[in-house]
Amino acid sequence: MKARGSLLLLAGLAVVAGPALCLQEGADGLRGAEIRISRAAGPITVDGDLGDAGWLGAGRVETFYETNPGDNLPPKVRTVGRLAYDGRHLYAALECDDPEPGKIRAPFAQRDVLGGGTDYAGIILDTRNDGRTAILFVANPRGVQYDAVTDDGNEDSSPDFHWEAAAKITPTGWNLEIRIPFSSLRYDRADPQTWGILLYRNRPRDFRYQMFSARLPRGRNCFICSENVLTGLEGLPPGGHLVVAPYATASEETLPRADGTGSVARPVEPDGGLDVKWTPSAGVALDGTFNPDFSQIESDTARIGVNERFALFYPEKRPFFLEGVDLLSTPVQAVYTRSVTSPRWGLRGTGKRGGTSWTALVAEDRGGGSVILPGPNGSGLAAQDFRSLDFVGRVRRDVGRSFASFLVTAKEMPGSASNRVLGPDFRLNLSETDSVTGQLLWSWSETPDRPERAAEWDGRSLSGHGADVWWSHTTETWDWGLEYKDFSDGFRADLGFVPQVGFREGYGELGRTFRPTGFVSRVRVFAFADSLADREGELLSQVVASAVRLETKYNGSVLLELRNERIRAGTELLSRRRLVYGVGAVPSRFFAGIAIDGAIGEEIDFEGSRTGKGGWFAASVVFRPGDHLRLDLSGEVRWMDVDLPDGRSPRLFTAHVERMNATWTLTARAWVRVIGQYVGAWQAPELYPTDVEAESGSFSASALLGYRLNWQSVVFLGYGDARTLSEDGGLPPESRQLFLKVSYAFQR
């Protein structure tokens, strides 16, 4: 397809998407039965005891469906839900019967660390009533909370909402109580309210049994759209909630002396900052932060960067950037908040009125991170050692389960340097089985005048477009998808994660699903093909693969892919054939998770433009020796033996990473966490066309004692240690840090 024609097609889809949305089936035609909620008859104490007066006469939900492994069958165990509310809170209770209470899996854990191998229950709440986006509020039998935003099945557990949960194990099963302040939710001003809701229970035994209060038909291209309709909410608070959370920190850093004779401790550095959240109305939240501190955020899992062509992605974990996180998700990842490395201050607004949702974020970044320099067949990084003013805004109009949206981002840098991106995106649900999503963006850039940092940073002007459109078809037995991408050479998204530009790509996939009985509960056989070329039509990569994925007992899965690839390395188009595999399971309470992934076969040396043999292997295991201790052990190794003209195949490189995360959870609010990880690589310098280190390595360790009273009232005491491999093979200290953080949330 010619570039002009493809762009006109994408632009046409974006323009006509709005009117066309009205043609799709309304979400109400897909929904489950109505559930009516009433005001609590008395007070409710959240303690796991369901005998409170407030539960008398509360609406009961007694109909549940087993959606996995069964196909909307009557569940093997009884679950009863109850719903009520008062002037400030929504209440939910679930009574979960279990004929074998001794087999209930209920470990203590940190918030959001549950997994499919744990018993838990709760509600999925769609306050926007759009049948597409909702918030999960679930907890396990110890009261350990998990919350997440789900956008038609794409689940993000990064945001933390303010709510309470308590549970109690009984002789016949376990009970759960949940209390959610209305101030934690976003909803329209309507009175009465109509929301969507699903009551949910997860019970892992020989299989992972999942039970919902509504049928979830297989083959439907949406999840939240099957929700029950929640009615009866009247007189809800209009907003006006204010949270002010100041914090104070103190840290001491120890660094090695310049002459190598020991180390020296810097003076203790006190610091402080402020987080503010105000909800002027029930549908609008305003967040502000000054000098935010993220010292308690868990370190990123180390990644191997040897023989990688493109920048590596790391997820966002910082609380300020997570309000309304679903509104920042688009087909092209034009927003990647981790590109704002060190904000001095930030302001964020998020709201919804009727079918229109919006979010806007502005922050001053002190710099210190890196900017991605994308290309057709690889990307580079340039250090941003200067400040910038960053802005992101998106508005979305929902019609049924479809929407049309518009995104704007801007990064203003010293001098006249800038990067600005804007354009529409949409999702069009044609039926229960077919949907089309797409995005078309334009960018205009003036690069910084810093040629010592990057060749293209010489003050030049760049402009271009980026487009992505995807058609998905899903039924109970068959599924297929088609995707087309078109990115010009001059497109840049400095506030996003777009490491590749200057290409056109076509992708297609076809799958067939079988559902046997026995050890294997689901088999999907599929094939896919992908072709990617630069703007002149020269092939960059081509993949043809056949694969099978199995779902088994013990929450298990098996993936096998046979790939035939052609990939450009330098000026050469090289072939690679390999087997990609993956195995995972949650076999027991002690072995709470096992995963093995990897690839084996032919490999490509992208720097030397040659082939060889190699692969990668990654494994992780989660042990739970008791209800309080969790041990996460993981590791990965990559290797390659290069083919030389004389017939030899010596080892080109071996790279590896090992990580240990041990968490002792004293209560649902207090924990101790210790993390240690090592990243190392061995390379053969004589086999590389450029200078490389023969051996490199780094070690980092951290320990954290944490106590969380609520979402922003916290105390953290931590220690960090970073070391780098020396020439003599030792690991001398590079830096050590001891820090204390205290934050308290004042609420009105």
Sign of the CA dihedral with 326 first, then 331, 337, and 338 last: positive
Quote the pLDDT of residue 295: 59
Reading the block at residue 493, the tokens are 């998204």
Reading the block at residue 97, the tokens are 């019967």
Secondary structure of residue 10 in the 3-state scheme: helix
Instruction: Name residues whose C-beta falls within 8 Å of residue 537's C-beta, 6 or more positions apart in sequence.
Output: none
Distance of CA 351 to the CA centre of its chain: 22
Quote the pLDDT of residue 153: 62
Q: What is the mean pLDDT of each run of 10 residues along the chain (748 residues)?
A: 46 43 47 93 93 90 95 95 95 96 88 84 92 91 90 74 92 96 87 94 92 92 90 89 88 79 80 88 87 63 62 62 71 88 89 87 90 90 91 91 93 94 94 93 96 93 97 95 97 94 97 94 97 95 97 93 95 95 91 94 93 96 91 96 93 96 88 93 93 92 86 84 87 88 86
How many Cβ atoms are within 10 Å of 335's Cβ, its own excluded?
A: 25
Sign of the CA dihedral with 719 first, then 287, 131, and 333 last: negative
Reference 119, options 73, 58, 63, 77; nearest CA is 77
State how far the Cα of 249 lies from the Cα of 171, in Å rounded to an integer. 46
For 321, which DSSP code? G
State how far the Cα of 321 lies from the Cα of 346, in Å rounded to an integer. 9
pTM beyond 0.75: the answer is yes
């209390």: which residue's tokens? Answer: 179
How many Cβ atoms are within 10 Å of 208's Cβ, its own excluded?
A: 19
Reading the block at residue 243, the tokens are 């949270």
Instruction: Name residues whose C-beta falls within 8 Å of residue 509's C-beta, 6 or more positions apart in sequence.
Output: 479, 480, 481, 526, 527, 528, 529
State how far the Cα of 141 lies from the Cα of 748, in Å rounded to an integer. 31
State how far the Cα of 444 lies from the Cα of 210, in Å rounded to an integer. 48
Q: Which long-range contacts (CB under 8 A, 24 or more apart) does 565-569 make?
A: 565/541, 566/539, 566/541, 566/542, 567/540, 567/541, 567/542, 567/604, 568/377, 568/538, 568/539, 568/540, 568/541, 569/604, 569/605, 569/606, 569/608, 569/609, 569/610
- Average confidence score pLDDT of the chain: 88
How many Cβ atoms are within 10 Å of 493's Cβ, its own excluded?
A: 27
Quote the pLDDT of residue 311: 60
State how far the Cα of 174 lies from the Cα of 169, in Å rounded to an integer. 4
